[in-house]
Amino acid sequence: MIAFAQYLLACLSIASYVSATPLHLTKRLTRGVQTNCKAGHFALTFDDGPYKYSSRLIDHLNERGIKATFFVNGNNFWDLDDDIQAQNVIKKAYDSGHQIASHTWSHANLDELSNRQVENEVVRLEDALMRIIGVRPSFIRPPYGNSEDRVTHILNRLGYTVVNWSVDSKDYETHSLSDEMHNYHRELGSSHDSKGGIGLQHDVYKQTAEELADSIIDYARERGFKFSTVAECFNEAPYH
């Protein structure tokens, strides 16, 4: 009887996940390293969290009707294994409809690791996210954007679409809105271009969460872009 009850719970869990996956997204991967969204679309992405500014950023994105993609770490600013606040931020973002993607466990430079170490960086975060939100991400951004052919092959083999960016706000340098938006003015075209955009920000910075994100939203809308999660950029399912 106990075994049968466990079987039923497993079936319900699978059914819940399938029903939550948008019908237009398929479970596949795009090989290589991607830097652009599909034409007319822009993906707002944040790396290195969760951290103490992430929750308010999620609230603000929700207020503006924007679904972003959070490339999260397991142990960078906060430790997902031990920090309840970090776990709650992940749950909040996921429950709000934002995409949770991998940025590896410890933000190590994957190009400097062995094959086994690369796999461990990925799988350890997968296991933590499975415990917290019940899914494993299908998208990954390698720390520092570093993914040589060997690493990319490993990540693809593990079922990941590897995504970097087309616009780097460089919010990690000066925390100056004028400098950051200058980067956007220089690097982001318009929705009429043949390629869409993927913007790189970091939700671990107060200025990004409270000031920069809002300015990017306004600017991308002025340029005619439709906001998408990274998974929607490639018409792929966000989780596997």
**What amino acid positions are annotated as catalytic residues?**
47, 202
DSSP for 119-188, written as a single string: HHHHHHHHHHHHHHHS--BSEE--GGG---HHHHHHHHHTT-EEE--SEE--TTT---HHHHHHHHHHH-
Residue 120: CA count within 13 A, CB half-sphere: 8
Q: What is the C-alpha to C-alpha distance for residues 31 and 51, in angstroms, rounded to an integer?
A: 30
Q: Please report how the helices 177-187 and 213-222 are oriented relative to each other, as an axis angle in degrees rounded to 10.
A: 30
Number of H helices, E strands in the chain: 9, 9
Determine phi and psi for 28, rounding to 5 degrees. -150, -175
Q: What is the C-alpha to C-alpha distance for residues 89 and 54, in angstroms, rounded to an integer?
A: 7
User: Given the structure tokens 């200025």, which residue do they identify?
Assistant: 207
Q: What is the C-alpha to C-alpha distance for residues 128 and 125, in angstroms, rounded to an integer?
A: 5
